[in-house]
Homo-oligomer: A and B are copies of this chain.
């Protein structure tokens, strides 16, 4: 069978090589005076050819606009060297998901070095009626592997990826009950540090602003908040907790107003746009930060520097997340089991001026 295939592929190339301009490998051979076999070896790098032949072929390719057909190579190797990345899209006027552009940057950096291309699909988190399995890219049979940011930790893997049989690595968000390899930030520990910082400056009524617990990131950050309180013997007051918030300035602002109404003397906002809403409310109401209400945010974007005062925030590396996920995926595609199934990337705190002791 291998011989038959090899023969077939030879023919394919001759046919398949017919580019947009109607030039075939046969014509390249005619133009250069070389055999089809030599031209094919020169183009596909399957056997060494003389420097002179290589130059002749390159020149003919340049002159004719012949496009060596990589589809033919994919047929031969059964490998496309293309991986798919599926991430949430941004929404107009909402920077939350810019995070995933940095993830994309890290993915692309690794893939480029390793000789892979990146196909990208995005989905809207506002339209819950769109199931991930409707994402057309998943149905492509020529993809070698998949990097996925799931839209919920409850998405059942078999439903989500129905009919898809690809090496897959999850990024940023966990899928419960699923043992797919995962690269994410240690959200629980990061949140615990953030809340600990507020508690250690003497705050006893620390509020929490966070998204839907359906997202593992929001779930883990809330767990970190509770753990920090528990370790310090602080009570968990449900009046100081707002969960399931929409990631928007308006939602953060309104929830911040409620927490301050409940006597919060500090707030941990577990998302960057919620942090913006919190800062906007406190600024507008003339409430001193950190004098009256101390603030720690999540995600260390450049805008935190220009807030008044600059905001102390949890810092994670989206680029590193993408780069590490791509490395793990390539290991899987190339038939090696990555050393760890779950990689928890460390997060840190960038200390600015929004935390600290209360001032009367």
- A-side residues, CB < 8 A to B, are 4-5, 8-9, 11-12, 15-16, 18-21, 61-62, 65, 67-72, 74-75, 78, 80, 82, 89-90, 92-95, 97-98, 100-102, 104-105, 108, 112, 115, 117-122, 136-137, 140-142, 163, 165, 249, 273, 276, 279-280, 283, 300-303, 305-308, 317, 319
Contacting A104 at CB < 8 Å: which of B122, B141, B300? B122
Q: How many copies does the complex hold?
A: 2
Bound form: Cα–Cα A9–B9 in Å: 10
B276 contacts A306, C-beta separation under 8 Å: yes
Q: Which residue of B lies closest to A319 (CB)?
A: B92
Contact status B279-A78, CB under 8 Å: no
Residue of B nearest to A134 (CB): B112
Does the CB pair B78–A305 fall under 8 Å?
no
A19–B74 Cα gap in the complex (Å)?
A: 11
Chain B residue, CB-CB nearest to A301: B95
* Residue of B whose beta carbon sits closest to that of A68: B141
For residue A5, which residues in chain B have a CB less than 8 angstroms away from its CB?
A: 15
- Contacts A71-B80, A122-B108, A308-B283 given; does A302 touch B319 at CB 8 Å: no
Q: Which residues of B contact A115 (CB under 8 A)?
A: 136
Q: For A108, what are the chain B residues with a Cβ–Cβ distance below 8 Å?
A: 89, 120-122
Q: Indicate if the CB atoms of B74 and A71 lie closer than 8 Å.
A: yes
A305→B319 contact, CB < 8 A: no
Q: Contacts A78-B20, A108-B89 given: A142-B306 contact, CB under 8 Å?
A: no
Cross-interface CB contact of A98 among B98, B112, B136, B142, cutoff 8 Å: B98
Residues of chain B lying within 8 A (CB to CB) of residue A20: 78, 165
Which residue in B19, B75, B120 is a CB contact (below 8 Å) of A69? B75
Of all chain B residues, the one with the shortest Cβ separation from A163 is B62
Pick the residue among B65, B72, B98 that contacts A75 (CB under 8 A): B72
With A65-B165, A119-B119, A306-B249 already in contact, the answer to whether A93 and B301 are too (CB < 8 A) is yes
A121 to B85, CA, bound (A): 12
Q: Which of B65, B67, B121, B276 contacts A302 (CB 8 A)?
A: B276
Asked if A141 contacts B69 (CB within 8 A), the reply is yes
Pair B137/A249 contact, Cβ less than 8 Å: no
- Most chain B CB within a 10 A radius of its CB, from A11, A92, A101, A276: A101
Instruction: Among B92, B101, B119, point to the contact of A90 (Cβ < 8 A).
Output: B101
- Most B CB within 10 A of own CB, among A95, A121, A279, A302: A302
* Residue pair B276, A305 in contact (C-beta under 8 Å): yes
Nearest CB of B to A126, in Å: 12
Q: How far is the CB of A230 from chain B (nearest CB, A)?
A: 32
Closest-by-CB residue of B relative to A24 is: B1
- Apart from A93-B302, A115-B136, 11 more pairs, CB < 8 Å: A8-B12, A62-B163, A68-B141, A90-B98, A98-B101, A101-B101, A104-B120, A105-B122, A119-B119, A249-B306, A280-B306
Residues on B with beta carbons closer than 8 Å to the beta carbon of A69: 74-75, 141-142
In the assembly, what is the distance between CA of A61 and CA of B162, in Å? 12
In the assembled complex, how far is the CB of residue A332 from the closest CB belonging to chain B, in whole angstroms? 12
Docked complex Cα distance between A95 and B97 (Å): 12
Chain B residues near A273: list those with CB within 8 A.
302
